Structure 1
């Protein structure tokens, strides 16, 4: 159950982040790409850990 809580927190952060980053749109475009990439990787890792947890027990 801990992992599903982390997924909810991550999704909430992902919803909040683009609004903040949009104000720096022109000067920090690479940062925005890195943030989106990092959030995507985080979601994949959390999903994989949840699947492994379900398979393990």
Structure 2
């Protein structure tokens, strides 16, 4: 019984990380595209490099 409860903690952490990172990415994308009027192609290029630097 205890092992099942402890197994849920990493799964919950991974799901929460996925949800929050996608939410943050979406909010930054909306901010950049709508507020700063940067073209979507340029945003995608720099977000790709930013993601590589974060996960490297």
Larger-gyration structure (1/2): 2
Give the TM-score normalised by the residue count of structure 1: 0.50
Written as runs of structure 1 = structure 2, the 5 A alignment for 1:13-24 is none
Report what 2:11 is aligned to.
Answer: 34
Give the TM-score normalised by the residue count of structure 2: 0.50
Cα deviation, 1:1-57, whole Å, max 9, x if unaligned, reads xxxxxxxxxxxxxxxxxxxxxxx7x23222211011100111100000000000110
**Higher relative contact order by CA 8 Å / sep ≥ 6: 1 or 2?**
1
Superposed CA RMSD in Å reads 1.5
Report what 1:43 is aligned to.
Answer: 20
| Structure 1 ranges of 4+ moved more than 2 A | none
